Amino acid sequence: MPRPFLTLALVQQSDQGSTAANLEDCEAAIRAASIRGCALVLLPELHTGPYFCQSENSDLFDLAEPIPGPTTERLSALARELELVIVGSLFEQRAPGLYHNTAIVIDTDGALVGIYRKMHIPDVPGCYEKFYFTPGDLGFNPVDTAVGRLGVLSGWDQWFPEAARALTLAGAQILLYPSSIGTSPNETPEERERQIQAWTLIQRGHAIANGLSVAACNRVGHEPDPNGITSGMNFWGNSFVCGPQGELLAQADDQAPKLLVAHVDLTRTEPARRLWPFLRDRRIDAYGDLARRFRD
């Protein structure tokens, strides 16, 4: 039976230079989380390697792997050994020439119980994901695990309230966001701070609007552009967990890797939604235009 109180860990990670080293780093963090009593571990987006989408290079498709595959097998063995749930993120090769940015959910018995293929794919300077990833085709479906029904989104999805709402309406008990986001080293400190605040606030808004706790796990540190075209990316960390009224329960800084542990009371969804009955008051009869690109 899912537990009402959840202790979870976010692994705010920096790239270690190779897939093997990154997975070693993940395993060490997961073991440390287990020692601290965590039942769920959330890893950052594309945690097995560098954020390779800073520019376009067909050779980088070689970084992809199938699901199930080597990374899922390793994380499955860890989940089974430590009896905890792991949410990871991979560059998936679904078929020759067909690739996704995919989150995986592994239950306490080591079973791969769910995958989520990233739905919103960005194409902005330093983040050319449309070159690499096909948009997801599995929709927004929570995953049932031993610790509860998890709503998983990835990266760019975190800016879209529709995605959070869709998972909420499907019965998610908590929203989880593996993320890889940062700014160019050329940005001013003021602009960087504006972006960090916007990223944090919109996800806290998802918590408030849906009466759910939210956990966002980001990478941290500077990563050069693999193709040497740009000045690279400074990932801003700031991983956090908030409650269903947007209140911060735990937050990391922007300086270093961090194992961020938080205690979440999943029973607070009910009183939060009684206080602010947004689901009751939704005007579902009047939202037809939301399915249009724009109302001209």
Residue 49 banded pLDDT, cuts 50, 70, 90: very high
> Per-residue pLDDT averaged across 175-179, rounded?
98
CB 51 within 8 A of CB 233: yes
Given a cut of 70, whether residue 110 has pLDDT beyond it is yes
Answer whether residue 74 shows pLDDT above 90: yes
Q: Which CATH superfamily is domain 5-280 in?
A: Carbon-nitrogen hydrolase (3.60.110.10)
- Segment 116-134, tens digit of pLDDT: 999 999 999 999 999 999 9
Q: How confident is the model at residue 48 (pLDDT cuts 50, 70, 90)?
A: very high
- pLDDT of res. 230: 85
- What gap in Å lies between CA 195 and CA 287, rounded to an integer? 29
CA 139 – CA 141 distance, rounded (Å): 6
d(CA 225, CA 166): 35
Query: Percent of the chain having pLDDT more than 70?
Result: 99
What does the domain layout of the chain look like in residue ranges?
Answer: 5-280
% the chain with pLDDT above 90: 94
Question: β-strand 85-95 against 40-42: which pairing, if any?
Answer: parallel
Q: In the predicted model, what is the mean pLDDT of residues 177-183?
A: 97
What does the DSSP assignment read for 242-276? Answer: E-TTS-EEEE--SSS-EEEEEEEEGGGHHHHHHHS
pLDDT mean across residues, the chain:
96
- Position 153, amino acid: L
Q: What tokens were used for 41?
A: 């571990």
pLDDT value, residue 2 = 63
Tens digits of residue pLDDT in 213-262: 999 999 999 999 988 888 999 999 999 999 999 999 999 998 899 999 99
Q: What is the mean pLDDT of residues 56-76?
A: 97
Tell me the pLDDT band of 1, cut-offs 50, 70 and 90. Answer: low
d(CA 218, CA 215): 10
Closest CA to 36 of 76, 82, 88: 82
Burial category of 284 from C-beta neighbours within 10 Å (exposed 0-12, middle 13-18, buried 19 and up): exposed
Residue 26: is it exposed, middle or buried by C-beta count within 10 angstroms (0-12/13-18/19+)? buried
**Average of pLDDT values for 34-55?**
97
Quote the radius of gyration of the chain (alpha carbons, Å).
18
- What is the pLDDT at residue 100? 98
pLDDT at 114 over 90: yes
